[in-house]
């Protein structure tokens, strides 16, 4: 008798910000268990799949008992007896059952939890690592991007850019690159303290000093890289997520950025100035608002051969939106988040579509994370190239990197296959 799904069960647990989230179990007829925990974002695009919350007074309205009940009743009934090894079919069954374009009825958090748990159950049943089950042999360890200074929606300070990241460019192994990041991170703490600022941490493990502007943050990163003994741009590079939707003024179509108002062209000049001042910047995420597609595309046309330009909020890991963005030349890279779209198979489609059209991909965690390392295995499986998963601090972040260290060990000689930043957007 073939192995089928015996039951699906969910419960309410808590994420790294102390907010409720969904944990799902998929139990197979041979007794195999697959378990997954769903992350949650603070900076969320309007086009993301709907994270169903309970509302009301309990847990400030953020409870997920409605989503949990949807898993334990409707989804459980629909998936009982289904083939766990047909991921696309399982995901489509849940999409059809939900019946809305954005998973609002059952909740994307309910559907994603079951989708991830099904993949893990199938891998466990085959006694195969998750990254092998999802990816086969075309796998690669990613280049990682670490949010070490937090601003925007991730911290209570005067910086409008949301994330300032460092990434190991020159490395002999994944471990070598991560050790360089850890060294730079600890050196950055000393640089911040010496400048007279506190070193409290933001949601993603990065420091959140009360700096005056984003350029000060970049200067601190530049100095930390040097003091750690590395060459900026050669060994350690810088990236940032502007998350411009949060300072885009929909009424004026301008940008209210760090105490001043900028037209879109003037905002482009701000980025150009930063690229000139800090040539080690190799990637910019969401330089314009999620509604400002024309200026996003204009900036890509002007600077896309100089820097990686990542689209997140405008496309939200949605294959239909990614296809439209590619047609309009909106960026040259797509950020990929499992919970933005809500199933494993749709996320796989988003990655394939992006790469097929010559776009790089950056797989991403969320600010409200759990100890689940699914995203690490997923990044290796899809040969995603780049992974954004927070600073080398806080266990829910570091667990992703520890999982990559384990995968590197398991791969042995094959682990020398490291993703490298694309040459066509690397600065001279």
CA angle, 279 then 285 then 290, to 5°: 145
Strands 236-241 and 360-364: unpaired
Question: Which residues are within 8 A (CB) of 384 and not within 5 positions of it... i.e. 6 or more apart?
Answer: 140, 142, 336, 351, 361, 362, 363, 378, 419
Report the C-alpha gap between 35 and 24 in whole angstroms. 6
From the list 201, 85, 213, the residue with the least C-alpha distance to 150 is 201
Is residue 301 a known part of a binding site?
A: no
CA dist 413 and 286 (Å) reads: 37
Tell me the angle at which helices 264-277 and 293-303 cross, rounded to the nearest 10 degrees.
Answer: 30
User: SS3 of 163, please?
Assistant: strand
Rounded to whole angstroms, how far apart are CA atoms 321 and 425?
23
CA atoms of 205 and 147, how far apart (whole Å): 7
- Annotated catalytic residue 163: no
CA distance 26 to 32: 8
* Residue 281 three-state SS: strand
Please tell me whether 388 is known to bind a ligand. Answer: yes
Closest CA to 260 of 209, 300, 314, 212: 212
Does 162 belong to an annotated binding site?
yes
Task: Check: CB of residue 225 under 8 Å from CB of residue 278.
Answer: no
Annotated catalytic residue, options 48, 51, 153, 204: 204
Which one is catalytic: 337, 346, 400, 408? 337
CB neighbour list of residue 345: distance below 8 Å, 6 or more residues apart: 87, 88, 91, 92, 115
CA torsion 15-47-373-64 (nearest 10°) is 30
- Residue 108 near residue 49 (C-beta atoms within 8 A): yes
Q: Is 251 marked within a binding site?
A: no
Contact between 332 and 6 (Cβ < 8 Å): no
Say whether 337 is catalytic.
Answer: yes
Q: Is 214 annotated as a binding residue?
A: no
- Is 366 annotated as belonging to a binding site? yes
Binding-site members for Mg(2+) are 241, 285, 312
Which residues are part of the catalytic machinery?
A: 204, 337
Binding region: 162, 241, 285, 312, 337, 366-367, 388
Annotated binding site for (2R)-2-phosphoglycerate: 162, 337, 366-367, 388
């Amino acid at each position: 008798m073939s192995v089928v799904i015996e039951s699906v069960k969910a419960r309410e647990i808590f994420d790294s910000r102390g907010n409720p989230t969904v944990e799902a179990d998929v139990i197979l007829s041979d007794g195999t268990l697959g378990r997954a925990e769903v992350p949650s974002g603070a900076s969320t695009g309007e086009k993301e799949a709907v994270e169903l919350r309970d509302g009301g007074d309990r847990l400030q309205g953020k409870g997920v008992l409605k989503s949990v009940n949807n898993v334990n009743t409707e989804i459980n009934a629909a998936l009982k007896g289904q083939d766990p090894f047909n991921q696309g079919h399982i995901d489509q069954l849940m999409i059809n059952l939900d019946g809305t374009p954005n998973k609002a009825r059952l909740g994307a958090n309910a559907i994603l939890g079951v989708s991830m748990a099904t993949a893990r159950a199938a891998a466990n049943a085959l006694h195969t690592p998750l990254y092998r089950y999802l990816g086969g042999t075309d796998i690669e360890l990613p280049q990682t991007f670490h949010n070490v200074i937090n601003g925007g929606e991730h911290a209570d300070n005067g910086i409008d850019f949301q994330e300032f990241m460092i990434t190991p460019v020159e490395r002999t192994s994944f471990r070598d690159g991560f050790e360089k990041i850890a060294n730079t991170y600890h050196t950055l703490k000393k640089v911040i303290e010496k400048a007279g600022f506190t070193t409290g941490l933001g949601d993603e493990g990065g420091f959140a000093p009360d700096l005056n502007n984003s350029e000060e943050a970049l200067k601190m990163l530049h100095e930390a890289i040097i003091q750690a003994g590395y060459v900026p741009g050669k060994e350690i590079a810088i990236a940032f997520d502007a998350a411009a939707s949060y300072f885009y003024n929909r009424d004026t179509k301008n940008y209210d950025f760090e105490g001043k108002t900028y037209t879109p062209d003037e905002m482009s000049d701000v980025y150009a100035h930063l690229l000139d001042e800090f040539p080690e910047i190799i990637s910019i995420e969401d330089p314009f608002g999620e509604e400002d597609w024309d200026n996003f595309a204009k900036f890509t046309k002007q600077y896309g051969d100089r820097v990686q330009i990542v689209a997140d909020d405008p496309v939200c890991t949605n294959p239909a939106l990614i296809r439209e963005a590619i047609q309009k030349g909106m960026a040259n890279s797509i950020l990929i988040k499992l919970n933005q779209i809500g199933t494993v198979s749709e996320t796989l489609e988003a990655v394939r579509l992006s790469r097929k059209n010559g776009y790089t991909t950056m797989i991403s965690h969320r600010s409200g994370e759990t100890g689940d390392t699914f995203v690490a295995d997923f990044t290796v499986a899809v040969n995603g190239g780049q992974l954004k998963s927070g600073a080398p601090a806080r266990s829910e972040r570091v667990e992703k990197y520890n999982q990559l260290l384990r995968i590197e060990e398991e791969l042995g000689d094959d682990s020398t296959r490291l993703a490298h930043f694309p040459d066509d957007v690397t600065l001279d």
